[in-house]
Amino acid sequence: MWAYGQPEYLKHVREDRLWWGKTGNYKLPKLKRFRSEAPSELVPRTLWQAEEVSQTRTARQEMKLLFADEPFSTPKPEKLMQKVISLATNPGDLVLDSFAGSGTTGAVAHKMGRRWIMVELGEHCHTHIVPRLKKVIDGEDQGGISKAVNWQGGGGFRYLRLAPSLLKKDQWGNWVINPAYNAEMLAEAMCKHMGFTYAPSQTYYWMHGHSSETDFIYVTTGSLSHDQLRLIGEEVGGERSLLICCKAFMADAEAFPNLTLKKIPRAILGKCEWDHDDYSFSIDLLAETPDDEPLEDQ
C-alpha cells in the first residue's frame, strides 16, 4: 500500500529519507523526520526510547503468545504501560481503563500490585480480557513484564455485566419500565436506586428491602387501589414505614401515614441517564493514523 504518490516517493529516495530497518527487513519504509523541521511550539519535551518502553512490534508478539488472533492492529507493549503506571501511581492505587480492549493496562496494573477497573463495551471482555487476566492470576502469563517484576501469579477479580437500561421510552415517548426486567430484577434495581438493601422477605410479599430496621420498600408493576393500600398499611402497622414504588396508584397519596407512594419512572428519572445501553463515547470519532507501524529499536 502506498502512503505517498510516486513523485513524492522518488523525492524521499533522492533525499535518503526512507528507513528500511537496521537489516533492511521492513516491508514498508519509515519516513525520517528531522527535529530541525518540526514546528518549534510542537516539539515533544520527552522521549521514551524503545529499549525502555518497547514498541508495537513487541506488543504484537506479546499478543500472539496470549491469543490466537490479534484483536488490535496497534497494541501497546506491557513495558510502555509499566512506565505510565509507575509514573502515575503507587502500589495499591486504583487504575481505571474505561476502554479496556485486550486488557493490557489491567494486566500490567495487576502485575505491578495496583488494583484496577476495566470497562469494555465489545466482545473482548469475555474473548480476551477475562482469559488474559485468569492467566495473569494463575501465574501462567510469563510474557510482557512478568519476568522483570518476577510475577508469580496471585490476586483475583470480579467480572460484572451492566444490566440493560431500567427505563425505556415507549412509542409515544413516555418513560416505561423496560420489559427486559422481570419482577425480581426490577425490585433489586429499584432498591439500589432508592438506597435500600435488597432483601426480599419470605413472610411479607410487600417487603423487598430495607433502609433501616423499621423502614422497608415494596416494588410492583401493578396499579394499587385505595383498598389494597389500606390493607398493606394495616400490615405495616404504626411501628414501621414502607416506601411503595408502583406503576400507578388510585388513592390519595397522603391518606396512609406509614406509606410513601411513588410512581416508578418518576421516582428515578433524575437519578441516571436512561435508555441507551452503550453510553457511547465513540472512539471512531478520533482521527485514525493511516499506518501505525512502529519505530525499530535504534
Ligand X SMILES: C[S@@+](CC[C@H](N)C(=O)[O-])C[C@H]1O[C@@H](n2cnc3c(N)ncnc32)[C@H](O)[C@@H]1O
Which residues contact ligand X by CB under 6 A? 72, 75-76, 97-102, 104-105, 119-122, 124, 278-281, 283
**Residue in the shown chain whose Cβ atom is closest to ligand X:** 101
Nearest approach, Cβ of 158 to ligand X (angstroms)?
Answer: 17
Q: In sequence order, which ranges of the chain are alpha helices (DSSP H)? A: 6-14, 50-53, 56-66, 78-88, 104-111, 124, 130-138, 183-194, 226-236, 264-268
Q: Which residue has the cell 518549534?
A: 40
Q: Which grid cell is 28?
A: 514498508
Nearest approach, Cβ of 110 to ligand X (angstroms)?
Answer: 12
Determine the angle formed by the axes of helices 56-66 and 78-88, rounding to 10 degrees.
110
Identify the CA nearest to 76 among candidates 20, 68, 85: 85
Closer CB to ligand X, 143 or 209, in the complex: 143
Closer CB to ligand X, 4 or 281, in the complex: 281
Return all residues near 111 (Cβ < 8 A) that are at least 6 apart: 78, 136, 144, 145, 146, 149, 151
Nearest approach, Cβ of 141 to ligand X (angstroms)?
Answer: 14
Nearest approach, Cβ of 33 to ligand X (angstroms)?
Answer: 25
CB 144 within 8 A of CB 107: yes
Q: Which grid cell is 83?
A: 512506565
Bridge partners of 244, per DSSP, are: 218, 261
Nearest approach, Cβ of 98 to ligand X (angstroms)?
Answer: 6
Closer CB to ligand X, 20 or 99, in the complex: 99
Tell me the C-alpha distance between 66 and 288, whole Å.
26
Closer CB to ligand X, 144 or 209, in the complex: 144
Closer CB to ligand X, 38 or 148, in the complex: 148
- Secondary structure of residue 79 in the 3-state scheme: helix
Nearest approach, Cβ of 119 to ligand X (angstroms)?
Answer: 5
Closer CB to ligand X, 145 or 259, in the complex: 145
Nearest approach, Cβ of 81 to ligand X (angstroms)?
Answer: 6
Determine the angle formed by the axes of helices 130-138 and 104-111, rounding to 10 degrees.
20
Return all residues near 40 (Cβ < 8 A) that are at least 6 apart: none
CB 81 within 8 A of CB 61: no
Closer CB to ligand X, 57 or 240, in the complex: 57
